[in-house]
Amino acid sequence: MYSVNFLAIRSVSGWITTLAVMVLVLFGVSTATYKKGLEELAEQSSVQLDLFVLYLRGVLGKYESLPEMLARDKNLVGFLINPGGRERIEAFNRYLQTVNDISNASDTYLMDKDGLTIAASNWQDERPFVGRNFSYRPYFQQAMKGQLGRYFALGTTSIKRGYYFAYPVRLEHEILGAVVIKIDIDSVEKSWGYHDATFIVTDPEDVIFLTTRPDWRFRTIGEISPRTLALVKKSRRYPDADIQPIAMRRIQDYPFGKVINLDEQGGTTSATVLQQFRVMDEAGWNVHILSDTRPLRKRILATNVLVGSAIMISYLLLTVLAQRRRRLAEIKRFEDRSRQALQEANEHLETRVQERTAELVEANRKLLSEIQERKSTEDVLRRTRSELVHAAKMATLGQLSAGINHELNQPLAAIRSYADNARQFLEKGRKIEAAWNMAQISELTDRMAQIGIQLKEFSRKSSGKPEIVPLHGVIDGALEILASGILKNKIAVHVRIQPENLQVSANQVLLQQVLVNVLNNAMQAVESCHEKEIAIDACVEEDRARIIIHDSGPGIAGDHVKEIFDPFFTTKQPGQGLGLGLTISKRILKEMGGTIVLEPAESGARFVISLLIVDQQNENEQ
Ligand code: ADP
């Protein structure tokens, strides 16, 4: 919206400026065209005016010398001295008529020294000059002074405008009279009337007597003073003429003339004309030409239309060009901006890609090193585990062999004493006592054989595969292994299995190892306690057997609860434990589909082992 307004204002101001420039230029062009046109018009008019003056001079010059020639005629002199009778006068009139006809003048006549016309070429006209006195006419007075008299006037008798040449007729030095030739100058108007320009001939008082505009005849150019008017009237040059000024207003003077405004048709319209004039001294005339300036105005109008159109076209062209240039510049700016934005986006993207690549490379590197670390940790763990499993096996073996040793030594010692007793009873002949002792020996060997069977089982069933394990047997086996420690420390062990024949799915040797571990921990826990009790409870819960080993020891401190299943976590003295017993037990149980957890207890530690039970019936069916 804002930009639209701005553009509109800009275009309006552009238009106003163009219009202002156009007005100024057109004004300048008009002025120059007007001045130039006026000069040209003045030049043309000047030529026409000169031609007109030349024409007038020709008209006058043709007759100028005729009176002088006639004045030298002896007949004229003689006639003036003695006009004679009627016949002589008539004959002289005829003579003057002939001269007048030949010279093509208007009238030719002879005046005596008193101004009386004594002979005239128009003696036969209705109003002949003969007998009339024209002594008041200046041309007569000039002639009587011995000069060539010249005058123009409206004929008082003929009521025709004419130009008069008068020359004195002399006898010796005496002036007898004057011969006068009147020229009809009406024809001048006719022969120049076809011109566009108006020609005017005025007398020294600015009264127009010759003009190509008949309505201006006997009017004045400009105001005429009453004194001049009185003079004109007195000279009787234009008898009965109503002398009125032509309404005109001078506009401007130029070296070549002046521009005036004329009121036409009673002031309803006006015309502007260029006025130029020449002075014809010899005739006492001012010859004017009034040239119409209307063609000039048309020319100015045409020039203005042309220049105005050129300006408008130039302005439109310039506007279009400017718009085009602006649009191109805008497109270029837009392209530059887009290019820059694209470049920036590219650079940004590159930087991001580089950053992300670096991050990814770093993450990859970290991942690789983590994988490497994990791998090596796993290796270490695997190694450690296998070593530990081995160590645990060895420890179990050690405990087992200690148990075996203990189990075997006792019966062996008993067998020895029973054998000694039997020998002594035999020596004494007490066969019954000897036989009882022998029976004891036999029983003891059975027990020893049982230990052998257990060992055999251990070696045979270490494959790790799950099997049906009677819980009672495996718990007894574990307690058997730990029996020496239990006895030594006088620990009370309570075993409750519900139902008695509860069987679980497990690996017997490994389960026994787990039980040995857990029970061993319990034994160690109760060692220093006053009441040394370990309770082993087994029951069924849904499809699983719960084996609860609860001791009367100090229990496990709250901080340690979460850590006891972690590898190498131990609170025992160095050499007493590695902190792997529970870890391995958990693992072994997991492999068998079982679990081991520490359950909260009021006192002591309460470990719960959960294993899948094997239904007695199912097993039989199998
Ligand atoms: P070790 O016996 O070698 O220390 P274990 O994994 O078997 O390793 O046991 C980890 C730790 O758990 C023991 O060091 C002990 O602090 C604690 N613990 C296990 N059983 C008991 C228990 N019955 N009473 C008290 N503490 C126990």
For residue 282 the two structure tokens come to 């010899």
Is 388 a pocket residue for ligand 1 (Cβ < 6 Å)?
Answer: no
619 CA to centre of own chain: 91
Whether the bond into 499 is cis, omega within 30 of 0: yes
Q: Of 13 and 465, which is predicted with more confidence? A: 13
Instruction: Say if residue 505's pLDDT is above 60.
Output: yes
Q: What is the DSSP string of 93-138?
A: HHHHHHHHHHHT-SEEEEEETTSBEEEETTTTSSS-STT-B-TTSH
Tell me how far the alpha carbon of residue 570 lies from the centroid of ligand 1, in angstroms: 6
Non-local CB neighbours of 288 within 8 Å, separated by 6+ positions: 49, 199, 200, 201, 202, 221, 275, 276, 277
For residue 350 the two structure tokens come to 């590159």
Tell me how far the alpha carbon of residue 398 lies from the centroid of ligand 1, in angstroms: 20
Per-residue pLDDT at 195: 79
Tell me how far the alpha carbon of residue 265 lies from the centroid of ligand 1, in angstroms: 145
Is 579 a pocket residue for ligand 1 (Cβ < 6 Å)?
Answer: yes
H helix or E strand, kind and range, residue 183: strand 174-184
Report which ligand 1 atom has the smallest distance to the Cα of 582: 6
Q: Of 458 and 115, which is predicted with more confidence? A: 115
Tally of residues, the chain: 622
Average pLDDT score, the chain: 85
First to last CA, the chain: 96
Tell me how far the alpha carbon of residue 501 lies from the centroid of ligand 1, in angstroms: 30
Per-residue pLDDT at 266: 67
Asked if residues 538 and 551 have their Cβ atoms less than 8 Å apart, the reply is: no
Per-residue pLDDT at 410: 64
Q: Can you tell me the distance from the alpha carbon of 201 to that of 224, in angstroms, rounded to the nearest whole number?
A: 16
Per-residue pLDDT at 531: 92
For residue 483 the two structure tokens come to 């029996």
Is 551 a pocket residue for ligand 1 (Cβ < 6 Å)?
Answer: yes
Q: How confident is the model at residue 576 (pLDDT cuts 50, 70, 90)?
A: low
Q: How confident is the model at residue 2 (pLDDT cuts 50, 70, 90)?
A: very low
Report which ligand 1 atom has the smallest distance to the Cα of 580: 6
Helix (H, G, I), strand (E, B) or coil at 526: helix
Q: What is the DSSP string of 430-456?
A: -HHHHHHHHHHHHHHHHHHHHHHHHHH
47 CA to centre of own chain: 66
Q: Can you tell me the distance from the alpha carbon of 212 to that of 24, in angstroms, rounded to the nearest whole number?
A: 40
Walk me through the domains of the chain, giving residue ranges and CATH numbers.
Answer: 66-184 (3.30.450.20), 466-621 (3.30.565.10)
Per-residue pLDDT at 45: 92
Q: Which amino acid is at 163?
A: Y
Helix (H, G, I), strand (E, B) or coil at 294: helix
Per-residue pLDDT at 516: 86
Q: Of 9 and 63, which is predicted with more confidence? A: 63
Residue nearest to atom 22 of ligand 1 (CA): 522
Q: Can you tell me the distance from the alpha carbon of 121 to that of 368, in angstroms, rounded to the nearest whole number?
A: 153
Residue nearest to atom 3 of ligand 1 (CA): 577
Q: How confident is the model at residue 447 (pLDDT cuts 50, 70, 90)?
A: low
Residue nearest to atom 13 of ligand 1 (CA): 570
Per-residue pLDDT at 46: 93
Question: What's the average model confidence in pLDDT over 563-571?
Answer: 86
Residue showing tokens 């005036």: 260
Q: Is 608 left (phi over 0), alpha (psi -120 to 50) or beta?
A: beta
Percent of all residues in the chain with a pLDDT value above 90, rounded to a whole number: 30
Q: Of 484 and 64, which is predicted with more confidence? A: 64
Tell me how far the alpha carbon of residue 497 lies from the centroid of ligand 1, in angstroms: 24
Asked if residues 119 and 97 have their Cβ atoms less than 8 Å apart, the reply is: no
Question: What's the average model confidence in pLDDT over 578-594?
Answer: 86
Per-residue pLDDT at 450: 61
Angle, vertex CA 455, rays to CA 535 and CA 388, nearest 5: 75
Q: Strands 107-112 and 174-184: what pairing?
A: antiparallel
Instruction: Say if residue 622's pLDDT is above 50.
Output: no
H helix or E strand, kind and range, residue 288: strand 285-292
Instruction: Say if residue 540's pLDDT is above 90.
Output: yes
Question: 387-407: per-residue pLDDT in tens?
Answer: 766 666 666 566 556 556 655
Residue nearest to atom 21 of ligand 1 (CA): 521
Asked if residues 182 and 106 have their Cβ atoms less than 8 Å apart, the reply is: yes
344 CA to centre of own chain: 20
Asked if residues 275 and 288 have their Cβ atoms less than 8 Å apart, the reply is: yes
Q: Can you tell me the distance from the alpha carbon of 249 to that of 236, in angstroms, rounded to the nearest whole number?
A: 29
Give the start-end residues of each E strand in 378-528. 467-470, 492-497, 503-506
Q: How confident is the model at residue 1 (pLDDT cuts 50, 70, 90)?
A: very low
Residue nearest to atom 2 of ligand 1 (CA): 577
Helix (H, G, I), strand (E, B) or coil at 564: coil
Question: 269-325: per-residue pLDDT in tens?
Answer: 788 899 999 998 888 889 999 998 888 888 888 988 998 888 888 888 988 998 899
Is 564 a pocket residue for ligand 1 (Cβ < 6 Å)?
Answer: yes
Q: Residue 180's beta-bridge partner residues? A: 109, 166
Angle, vertex CA 117, rays to CA 114 and CA 120, nearest 5: 155
Report which ligand 1 atom has the smallest distance to the Cα of 583: 6
Residue 470's CB is within 10 A of a number of other CB atoms, namely 17
Tell me how far the alpha carbon of residue 583 lies from the centroid of ligand 1, in angstroms: 10
Q: How confident is the model at residue 10 (pLDDT cuts 50, 70, 90)?
A: low
Q: What is the DSSP string of 205-227?
A: T-BEEEESSGGGTT-EES---HH
Report which ligand 1 atom has the smallest distance to the Cα of 522: 23
Number of H-type helices and E-type strands within the chain:
13, 20
Is 534 a pocket residue for ligand 1 (Cβ < 6 Å)?
Answer: no
Q: Can you tell me the distance from the alpha carbon of 328 to that of 615, in angstroms, rounded to the nearest whole number?
A: 95
Ligand 1 pocket mutation, candidates 570, 589, 609, criterion most atoms within 8 A of CB: 570
- Of 260-264, 447-451, 486-490, which one has max mean pLDDT? 486-490
Question: 168-194: per-residue pLDDT in tens?
Answer: 999 888 999 999 999 888 878 888 877
Q: Can you tell me the distance from the alpha carbon of 387 to that of 568, in angstroms, rounded to the nearest whole number?
A: 14
Asked if residues 129 and 117 have their Cβ atoms less than 8 Å apart, the reply is: yes
- Of 75-89, 284-298, 521-535, which one has max mean pLDDT? 521-535
Question: 113-127: per-residue pLDDT in tens?
Answer: 999 999 999 999 888
Residue 206's CB is within 10 A of a number of other CB atoms, namely 19
Minimal CA–CA distance to 583: which of 375, 392, 373, 376? 392
Q: In what order do the strands lie in the sheet with 533-541?
A: 492-497, 533-541, 544-551, 606-612, 595-599
Report which ligand 1 atom has the smallest distance to the Cα of 549: 23
Q: Can you tell me the distance from the alpha carbon of 215 to that of 394, in angstroms, rounded to the nearest whole number?
A: 163
Residue 59's CB is within 10 A of a number of other CB atoms, namely 18
Residue 69's CB is within 10 A of a number of other CB atoms, namely 12
- Of 9-13, 221-225, 268-272, 434-438, which one has max mean pLDDT? 434-438
Tell me how far the alpha carbon of residue 521 lies from the centroid of ligand 1, in angstroms: 5
Question: 230-254: per-residue pLDDT in tens?
Answer: 888 887 888 777 888 888 888 888 8
Non-local CB neighbours of 564 within 8 Å, separated by 6+ positions: 556, 582, 598
Per-residue pLDDT at 6: 54
CA dist 281 → 54, 139, 141, 170, 443 (Å) = 13, 15, 19, 26, 195
